[in-house]
Structure 1
Amino acid sequence: MKLGFLTACLPQVPLADIAAWAAENDYAALEVAVWPKVGGREFEAGHIDVAHFGAGQAEEVTELFAKHRLTLSSLAYYENNLHPDEGRREEIAAHVLHAVDAAALLGVETVGTFIGRHPGLSVKENVALAEQTFPRLVDYAGERGVKIIIENCVMEGWHPDGYPGNIAYSPELWEWMFSLGLYLNYDPSHLLWIGIDPVTALKPYVDRIPHAQAKDTQLDPLARDRYGFFGKTLSREHPWDEGWWRYRVPGLGQVDWSGVVDALYEGGFTGVLSVEHEDPVWGGTEEKVKQGLRIAHRTLSPLIVG
């Protein structure tokens, strides 16, 4: 197992500078954000332009990672593949395929994304839509030696009432998506606040987890007693303003990291555990983000066998 981080937390920093900093701070891998340059939402970045990527660019990236003795663990484009607008849905699918092509050129085994959700349809109707949408993506990736991995983020901010906006949030739904040839980019932080024990949920599925993420969650049960499980309603200031929990870097929330890492080892996981930094306390400036990554490293590195 290696420890890395997702580059989306440093959207304005060039990949070459991120790689140098990661190596200097004893990270062994990077999960590289590949959103289109026209993106711009928080926690999105375009550190590799996969839509205009060829052998020359692949050689440059490969040399960069070799120079710093880093592993490029995955390409990350977490978008709503079941977007209600069909045109936008096709744009997203096309970019996923660009990411697959880039991964194949780089020798990277996985591309990460979301199932997503059409908020106007039931979960069962979304399952049917996904069964029409994903087979061509999975087949295209498989032909190029790439796995599509799905993060189990709830994406409640994509739903107008804070309900799940990504239908991959529970083991029941993981088993369904495995039947489509998809894999899991396991992140324990999302399970904690929806009432699922992250370690118990992880153990049966390690063989379907080629890549994992590390994010923590800090809970406030007293606030939950006011707002309820789905968070604020009338007083919600923005789609991600749940009011009773928030993401933190590993070590500053309630995730049992010793249990998570031990379960990964016990299940035979040999991939990368990638810190996904969305901590509002250690965010806002480049230096604060980097300090958050240092905190995460101090928490996780003692658990990982060199």
Structure 2
Amino acid sequence: MKLGVFTVPFSEKNVDEMLDYVADKGIEAVELGTGGYPGNAHCNVDELLDDTNKQNEFLNKCKQRGIIISALSCHANPLHPQKQISEEADQLFDKTIKLASQLDVPVVNTFSGCPGDHEHAKYPNWPVAPWPNDFQEILTWQWEEKIIPYWKKKAELADTLQVKIALELHGGFSVHTPQNLLRLREACGPAIGANLDPSHMWWQGIDPVESIKILGRENAIHHFHAKDTTIDQGNMNRNGLTDMTSYADMQNRAWYFRTVGFGHETKDWADMISALRLYGYDYVVSIEHEDGLMSIDEGFSKAVEHLKPVMVKESVGDMWWV
């Protein structure tokens, strides 16, 4: 396994400054935003696409520092009912997956998106209850008319370009649980997998280790984020897990993101790393820093310090004791 980082927090640094900074911390892989919610501070897809010289220069910057690119990320909503928004996200995804293929980056991370509740809707509709029955009707329409048809086409494109699509299981989007992901994967094929972030499992009440087992059995984990979550039980009792309180109002939120080790103990992270290895994932653990209580440098540095001791780097080979 390699320890990586999603470089969005370092957007104020240019590519060379960012790479020097993370390499100095012992980082071996970077996940780069190409637009959408993450922005494109370190990977301008329009400048790099189809330009071999610029691509080689870009890749050499990473190689000189012993760093690989684990994934290109273009988190957005390609199923948004407003065409201007969905078309922009769709075009960005297509350009990103083509660039990933040209750079030999094996994974593109994104969100599944979330449609509206009918063809002329203005805003996304995220059903989270089976009753009243209207919600079931909305969900059926979304999956049959929007979600599966869209991602089936993208899976075909991914297969052609030999790139995997890693959907982040994130509340507010149609694919947010292991079950959702496996449903889409069954319909669209194995190019579709998860960018599994334990922080989003915890706040939904899902044990991340069990989610690794569920998805790992199907070889459906394409990328892995390292981010923690704190559950404030008093606020959870009041607000519930679908808490709409602003992320900035941390004192009153039912849950909020933390840097690795500040929501759950080392044993929890060691168990996740072990489960990943047990079920065949031997790729990158990519730190995502979104801790509202720590600066970028402190939160990132503490995540690195916490993860380094539990990372498993070497394959067993023969089991000599058997």
**Structure 2 CA distance for partners of 1:238 and 1:269, relative to 1, 3 Å:** closer
Partner of 1:202: 212
Pairs within 5 Å for 1:108-147: 108-118=105-115, 119-120=124-125, 122-128=138-144, 129-147=146-164
Q: What CA distance in whole angstroms lies between the structure 2 residues aligned with 1:120 and 1:215? A: 26
1:26 corresponds to 2:43: no
Q: What CA distance in whole angstroms lies between the structure 1 residues aligned with 2:149 and 2:46? A: 24
Tell me which amino acid in the other structure corresponds to 1:266. L
Q: State whether residues 74 and 109 of structure 1, in contact with CA within 8 Å, keep that contact through their aligned partners in structure 2.
A: yes
1:83 corresponds to 2:95: no
Partner of 2:41: 46
Tell me which amino acid in the other structure corresponds to 2:139. V
1:52 Cα deviation from its structure 2 partner: 3.0
> Alignment partner of 1:246: what SS?
strand
1:240 Cα deviation from its structure 2 partner: 8.8
Partner of 2:67: 70
Q: Of 181, 187, 191, which residue of structure 2 is paired with 1:174?
A: 181
Pairs within 5 Å for 1:1-306: 1-35=1-35, 43-53=38-48, 54-118=51-115, 119-120=124-125, 122-128=138-144, 129-154=146-171, 165-179=172-186, 180-181=188-189, 182-206=192-216, 207-232=219-244, 236-237=245-246, 243-254=253-264, 256-282=268-294, 288-306=295-313
Tell me which amino acid in the other structure corresponds to 1:304. M
1:258 Cα deviation from its structure 2 partner: 1.4
> Alignment partner of 1:265: what SS?
helix
* Larger RCO, structure (CA 8 Å, separation 6 or more): 1
1:238 Cα deviation from its structure 2 partner: 7.0
Percent of aligned positions with the same letter in both sequences?
27
Partner of 1:162: none
Q: Deviations over 1:75-120 (max 9, x none)?
A: 0111112111123212211110111111111110011111111224
Q: State whether residues 216 and 252 of structure 1, in contact with CA within 8 Å, keep that contact through their aligned partners in structure 2.
A: yes
Q: State whether residues 9 and 44 of structure 1, in contact with CA within 8 Å, keep that contact through their aligned partners in structure 2.
A: no
> Alignment partner of 1:63: what SS?
helix
Give 1 or 2 for the bigger CA radius of gyration: 2
**Structure 2 CA distance for partners of 1:144 and 1:14, relative to 1, 3 Å:** same
**Structure 2 CA distance for partners of 1:238 and 1:298, relative to 1, 3 Å:** closer
Partner of 2:121: none
Q: State whether residues 11 and 46 of structure 1, in contact with CA within 8 Å, keep that contact through their aligned partners in structure 2.
A: yes
**Structure 2 CA distance for partners of 1:100 and 1:17, relative to 1, 3 Å:** same
Q: State whether residues 93 and 137 of structure 1, in contact with CA within 8 Å, keep that contact through their aligned partners in structure 2.
A: no
Tell me which amino acid in the other structure corresponds to 2:174. I
TM-score normalized with structure 2 length: 0.83
Q: What CA distance in whole angstroms lies between the structure 2 residues aligned with 1:151 and 1:145? A: 19
Name stretches of at least 5 consecutive residues in structure 2 with no aligned partner.
116-123, 127-137, 314-322
> Alignment partner of 1:32: what SS?
strand
1:228 Cα deviation from its structure 2 partner: 2.1
1:279 Cα deviation from its structure 2 partner: 0.8
Tell me which amino acid in the other structure corresponds to 1:61. F
TM-score normalized with structure 1 length: 0.87
Q: Aligned residue pairs: how many?
A: 283
Q: Deviations over 1:13-60 (max 9, x none)?
A: 11221111111111111011111xxx6x6x544311112322122111
1:237 Cα deviation from its structure 2 partner: 4.8
> Alignment partner of 2:21: what SS?
helix
Q: State whether residues 192 and 217 of structure 1, in contact with CA within 8 Å, keep that contact through their aligned partners in structure 2.
A: yes
